[in-house]
């Protein structure tokens, strides 16, 4: 709401907050408080709050100026942050599962997007994962290595909590992909 208010203020538009029978109106750079007598409310015990704004579409607005250079925070990435600034990507908490090529592709794309935004080391955590499909392994790790290169992969991603079954599936998947690329 703070950003919206600054956009309206910069634009010279109209912004109002009405709660119950009281309201605060910002118009043409000025502030006015008002009491409303005939305003629609749900009932006396459950009053509503409304936000209304109008912009002059003939005037340009700088969102960067409106938010005064504050950096927007991606709450999803913030939740993935570890204690030392690394990203901890827990496969078990991603809803798409580990049994299909499509879920591997979705996770691979999300990992690339997260790295592009943060430029931080990413720990891919397989805790609580019992098994994966070979197509999932190929799509997630094999194609990720294909896209960014082996050395770049090693410097960005760190795989943890892989049981022996998952390690074996990844090994077989990577060997197959390497043999296809070289032969």
Question: What is the mean predicted confidence (pLDDT) over 157-169?
Answer: 97
pLDDT recorded at residue 156 = 98
- 29 pLDDT band, cuts 50/70/90, is low
Q: What is the chain's Cα-based Rg?
A: 26
- Answer whether residue 103 shows pLDDT above 90: yes
- Say what percent of the chain tops pLDDT 70: 91
Q: What are phi and psi of 89, to 5 degrees?
A: -100, 100
Chain-centre distance for alpha carbon 93: 15
Neighbours of 169 (CB within 10 A): 19
Look at residues 113, 117, 118, 111 and name the one whose alpha carbon lies nearest to residue 157: 111
Higher pLDDT, 38 or 61: 61
Q: Which fold has domain 75-182?
A: Transcription Regulator spoIIAA (3.30.750)
* Coil vs helix vs strand at 110: helix
User: Residue 45 has what pLDDT?
Assistant: 73
* Average pLDDT value for the chain: 88
Give the tens place of pLDDT for each residue, 42-80: 676 777 788 899 998 998 888 888 877 666 678 899 999
Spell out the domain ranges in the chain. Answer: 2-66, 75-182
Q: What share of the chain is helix, strand, coil (3-state, %, to 5)?
A: 45, 20, 35
Give the number of other CB atoms < 10 A from CB of residue 98: 21
Confidence grade of residue 122 (pLDDT, cut at 50, 70, 90) = very high
User: Residue 85: is its pLDDT beyond 90?
Assistant: yes
pTM: 0.64
> DSSP letter at 105?
H
Q: What confidence score (pLDDT) does residue 27 get?
A: 82
């Amino acid at each position: 709401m703070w950003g919206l208010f600054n956009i309206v203020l910069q634009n010279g538009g109209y912004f109002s907050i009405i709660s119950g029978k009281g309201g605060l109106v910002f118009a043409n750079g000025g502030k006015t408080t008002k009491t409303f007598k005939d305003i629609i409310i749900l009932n006396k015990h459950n009053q509503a709050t409304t936000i209304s704004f109008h912009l002059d579409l003939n005037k340009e607005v700088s969102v960067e100026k409106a938010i005064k250079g504050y950096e927007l925070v991606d709450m999803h990435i913030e939740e993935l942050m570890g204690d030392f600034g690394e990203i901890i990507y827990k496969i078990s908490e991603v809803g798409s599962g580990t049994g299909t090529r499509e879920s591997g592709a979705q996770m691979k794309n999300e990992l690339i997007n997260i790295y592009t935004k943060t430029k931080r080391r990413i720990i891919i955590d397989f805790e609580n994962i019992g098994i994966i499909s070979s197509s999932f392994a190929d799509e997630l790790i094999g194609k990720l290595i294909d896209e960014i290169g082996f050395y770049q992969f090693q410097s960005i991603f760190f795989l943890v909590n892989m049981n022996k079954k998952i390690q074996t599936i990844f090994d077989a998947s990577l060997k197959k992909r390497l043999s296809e690329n070289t032969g």
